[in-house]
Amino acid sequence: MKGIIFVKLNQFVDELWGEEFWDALLQEATLPSEGIYTSVATYDDEELFTLVGLIMLKQGLSAQQAQFAFGQWMFKELLLAAPPEAHKFTDVFEFLYGVQAVIHVEVKKLNPEAILPEFEFIQETDNSLTFHYISPRHMCYFCEGIIQGLAAHTGQTVSVEQPECVHEGGERCVMKVTKVG
Amino acid sequence: MAKSREELETRIAVLERKVEREKKARVMSEQHLEHHSRAVYEANQSLQASLAMAKKKQAELEFLRQTSGDVSSDISLQELISNTVELTGQFFSVECGLFIVTKDGEALDSQEDNIWRAPNQWVTDTEFFEQAVKFLPLHQQECLSMWLVSAIDDESSQAMSGFKWIVFVNFALLGDKIAWLAFFSRAEFIDEEALSVLGTAREHLLSGINRRVTDVNIRKRTVELQDTVNRLEQAKRQLIQSEKMASLGQLAAGVAHEINNPVGFIRSNLEMLEEYLQDYQTLHESMLRHIETAGQLDAQHYKELCDNIDLAYIQQDAKDLLGSNLEGLERVKEIVENLRTFSHSGDGKLERINLGVCIEGALKIAWNALKYEHIVENQIPNDLPEVLGNIGQLQQVFVNLFVNAAYAMDAGGTLTLKAHVTPDALLVEVRDTGCGMDRKTLDQLFTPFFTTKPVGVGTGLGLSVSYAILESHNVLTQVSSTVGKGTLFSLSFPLLDG
């Protein structure tokens, strides 16, 4: 996992619960990296899951809540770091299509080793878009949060639901984004 | 609200750990940056090396392209070699190049402008040349199969000073000549890769030289062939003339007879006329005597004197004799004229001619062979269209046909000549009622030196020469013959356009 995610998680935790909480997480987690994160380095995925698990435990949150909140907060941070092409989208659906075709392509150019989720679009109507979320990390709740962050960015209101989810016993994760109002 | 001391200490501990993490993170980032910078630097170096290699390859390809272009172009061998020296010298980045041609180990030609100097100039430098050729194994007759490199260690020579290497090759030219290319370098080291490129260029050059040498051989061969063709043409013309003269020789006795006949009666007529002149003399003298004695000559007496010499008859006969002589002379003149036309070798040029006149002339020449035992039926009309032909050569053909016909009809017969115009041609037929020819004779009819006549009578060239003449007139010749019945020659002369 790219260090930027850890740096941003640190920032997110600091903002929400304070530096002491982050310090306490690290003290308890005893991670291989000792919590020394730089955005350009790459760290073991397990460290993220350990940290998120501890946050859930300490704050009494479900995995869904934790990932969702982080995802929602994360969108604007990622957008700042994203290539200029990412800023031209004004619609949630357009952006979701563009993620794969434009943004992930740019990310791969700079970080050839990065593991990125793939979207396999299944169905689109005027106000809904259904796609298959494919990632070995299964961070579909994080993805839900990101989509909500995106909607806030475009000024649209959307609902995100998962007709199928690996965490709910499904074979795969399917996201259905519906424009509301 | 003031924080308790314990709280503050905890806070400080958290911050200290945070600072510690940040410091380490910074060190890691810097290391990462350093590593990254080095990677970028190395990538850059490798790109520059690749670029330099690509440029070098490009230069090599350009060099090979130019040399190959020259090789396949039409420039002369001399130009090809000069261009190769220039291109090679520039590609190989040497200061000096040399081109000489040797035979039996000795340099040929003038040694002017045979030294090439960078950037691109041909100069004469006798001193340098003399020193430089010492490094070439000129006495060696075998051609090298690759470029050879020798170190130059001669410090004594002013002209060679500073040069470290000589790179040279040679190849065979026409006439046991050998061309040498040599390049002189001041570089410390010879670029082996460039040498291998030069090797490729050498192979191209060799094929170019071979092609030019082959071209020269082919041109030489073409000239020789043309020469042979010209000589054959000349021989053919001479053969036609010789055969004509030979047949003329055979005809000579007959022709002499033809001339002798009128000459004979002209002579006897002249003798008669001489006698008549004598009679006139006698009449004149009688008249003079009578006038001297009688003082006058009356009509009665004059008539008596005239009757004495039969003057009326003499006058009539002298007129007849003179007419006969003029006619005889006319015949001689015609025969001689025809002989002249016939024997004239001419230039073989084709002109518009009347075939009737031509055949008439030929008949006169061959007349003696025909007139005694053969009937000649000349049915050729007077109003035949003109054709393109050489009258002398065609007369030769017809004389030959007529003499052969006479020979085939040794017991007498009829020679029939006909001509008529078909849509495509003017058809002339020469038919005899002679012995005819069998298949075997017909097959060899136009073969040179084939003859059915006894040794010494025919040359065996008559019909083959005739056939050659007819061919050059674009005349289609057909022969049909039946043994015991006779032979028909059909000659189709092309009609004039329009």
pLDDT surpasses 60 at B87: yes
Q: Is the pLDDT of residue B338 over 80?
A: no
The dotted CATH code for B346-498 is 3.30.565.10
Please choose, from the candidates B491, B368, B480, the residue with its C-alpha nearest in 3D space to the C-alpha of residue B418.
Answer: B491
- Do the Cβ atoms of A19 and B28 come within 8 Å? no
pLDDT score, position A21: 94
pLDDT in tens, A156-180: 999 999 999 999 999 999 999 999 9
Would you state the pLDDT for residue B345? 63
pLDDT in tens, A45-61: 999 989 999 999 999 99
Residue predicted with more confidence, B457 or A168: A168
- What is the reported pLDDT for B458? 62
pLDDT in tens, B411-423: 888 999 999 998 8
Least confident of B152-166, B203-217, B304-318: B152-166
Q: Given the DSSP bridges, would you call strands A173-179 and B115-117 parallel, antiparallel or unpaired?
A: unpaired
Q: Are B210 and B71 in contact (CB under 8 A)?
A: no
Q: Predicted confidence band at B191 (pLDDT cuts at 50, 70, 90)? A: confident
Cβ contact B14–A19 (<8 Å):
yes
Whether B25 sits inside 8 A of A36 (CB atoms) is: yes
pLDDT above 70: residue B433: yes
Residue of chain A whose alpha carbon sits nearest to that of B16: A23
User: Could you tell me how far CA A179 lies from the centroid of its own chain?
Assistant: 20
Chain B residues touching A35 at Cβ < 8 A: 21
CB-CB neighbors (< 8 A) of B15 in chain A:
19
pLDDT tens for A1-29 read 888 889 999 999 999 999 999 999 999 99
Res. A108 pLDDT band, cuts 50 70 90: confident
Q: Is B25 on the interface with A (CB under 8 A)?
A: yes
Confidence of residue B145 (pLDDT cuts 50, 70, 90): confident
The sign of the torsion formed by the CA atoms of B332, B338, B342, B345 equals: positive
The whole-angstrom separation of Cα B247 and Cα B461 is: 9
Note the Cα B459 to chain centre separation in Å: 31
User: Would the ipTM clear 0.90, i.e. be above it?
Assistant: no
Instruction: Nearest by CB to A23, from B14, B25, B29: name it.
Output: B14
| Pairwise CB contact (< 8 Å): B24 & A34 | yes
Residue B347 has pLDDT above 80, yes or no: no
In this structure, which long-range contacts are made by residues B279-283, counting pairs with CB atoms below 8 Å and at least 24 apart in sequence?
A: B279/B309, B279/B310, B279/B311, B279/B314, B280/B309, B280/B314, B282/B309, B283/B308, B283/B309, B283/B311
Looking at chain A, which residue has its C-alpha nearest residue B30?
A: A38
DSSP bridge partners of A160: A177
**Structure confidence at residue B1 (pLDDT):** 57
Q: Identify the residue whose tokens are 């003082």.
A: B295
Contact at CB, A40 and B29, closer than 8 angstroms: yes
Mean pLDDT confidence for B11-35: 91
Residue numbers in B near A38 (CB within 8 A): 25, 28-29, 32
DSSP B109-144: S--TT-EEETTTEEE--HHHHHHHHTTS-TT--SPP
Q: Which of A19, A26, A38 sits opposite B29 (nearest CB)?
A: A38
For chain B, the domains span: 73-190, 216-345, 346-498
Tell whether B29 is within 8 A of chain A (Cβ).
yes
Q: Reduce the DSSP state of residue B353 to 3 states and report it.
A: strand
* Cβ neighbours around B317 below 10 Å, total: 15
- Cβ contact B478:B441 at 8 Å: no
Check if A26 contacts B (Cβ < 8 Å).
yes
What band does A104 get if pLDDT is binned at 50, 70 and 90?
Answer: confident
Q: How is domain B73-190 classified at the CATH fold level? A: Beta-Lactamase (3.30.450)
Mutation pick from B29, B30, B31, B35 vs chain A, by most beta carbons of A within 10 Å, is: B29
Confidence of residue A122 (pLDDT cuts 50, 70, 90): very high
Q: CA A102 to CA A99: how far, in whole Å?
A: 6
Which residue has tokens 């043409």? Answer: B233
> What pLDDT is attached to residue B455?
61
Residues of A in contact with B32 (CB under 8 A): 38, 40-41
Q: How confident is the model at residue B216 (pLDDT cuts 50, 70, 90)?
A: confident
Smallest CA-to-CA distance from B413 within B430, B434, B429 is with B434
Give the Cβ contact number of residue A121 at 10 Å.
13
Residue A40, SS3 per DSSP: coil
* Helix, strand or coil, per DSSP, at residue B344: coil
pTM of the model: 0.47
Query: What are the tens digits of pLDDT across the range B270-306?
Result: 999 999 999 999 999 999 998 999 888 888 888 988 9
Instruction: Point out the least confidently predicted range of A79-93, B82-96, B333-347, B378-392.
Output: B333-347
